[in-house]
Amino acid sequence: MIIRPAFLALAVALGLAAGPAVAQQAGAPRTADFAGQWAARPGAAAGVEMRVRGNRVEARELFTTPGQDRCGTQGRGQARGASAQMQFQGRCANGRTTPATQCTVTLETRDRVRTQCRNGHQAVLFRVGR
């Protein structure tokens, strides 16, 4: 009988210890959460679209106005969980490109990403669409 209460106490202790961790994992951002449309402010028009295939992430700027001299940024990279290492490069309508830069893109939450690039560029984007 002493073994039974001890076993029960151990099971309860393990269950209590594992409970919050399991809940955290279920709510933690993951690679698939990169997919969607993102904006500089919550509720603003989408400026970036990200797509995910497996652990590959692709991002591109969205434009609402046409123009021959318009340039946009495109990026590709590998994600592991809530962080992606990506290479971004500007591409213009006239075929011109800008130098590439490496960036870390981190899902802070399922609805907010932060980018930090080697060229000094930093941004926070908010999900505005799936």
pLDDT in tens, 89-98: 988 888 888 8
Q: State the Rg of the chain over Cα.
A: 21
Residue range 9-23: mean pLDDT, rounded: 36
Closest by alpha carbon to 107, among 122, 121, 120, 124?
124
**Token duo for residue 83:** 């962080």
* Domain count for the chain: 1
Domain that holds residue 44: 29-129
Domain-located, residue 16? no
Residue range 46-60: mean pLDDT, rounded: 95
Whole-model pTM: value is 0.72
Q: CA 102 to CA 112: how far, in whole Å?
A: 20
Domain-located, residue 4? no
Domain-located, residue 76? yes
Q: pLDDT class for 19, splitting at 50, 70, 90? A: very low
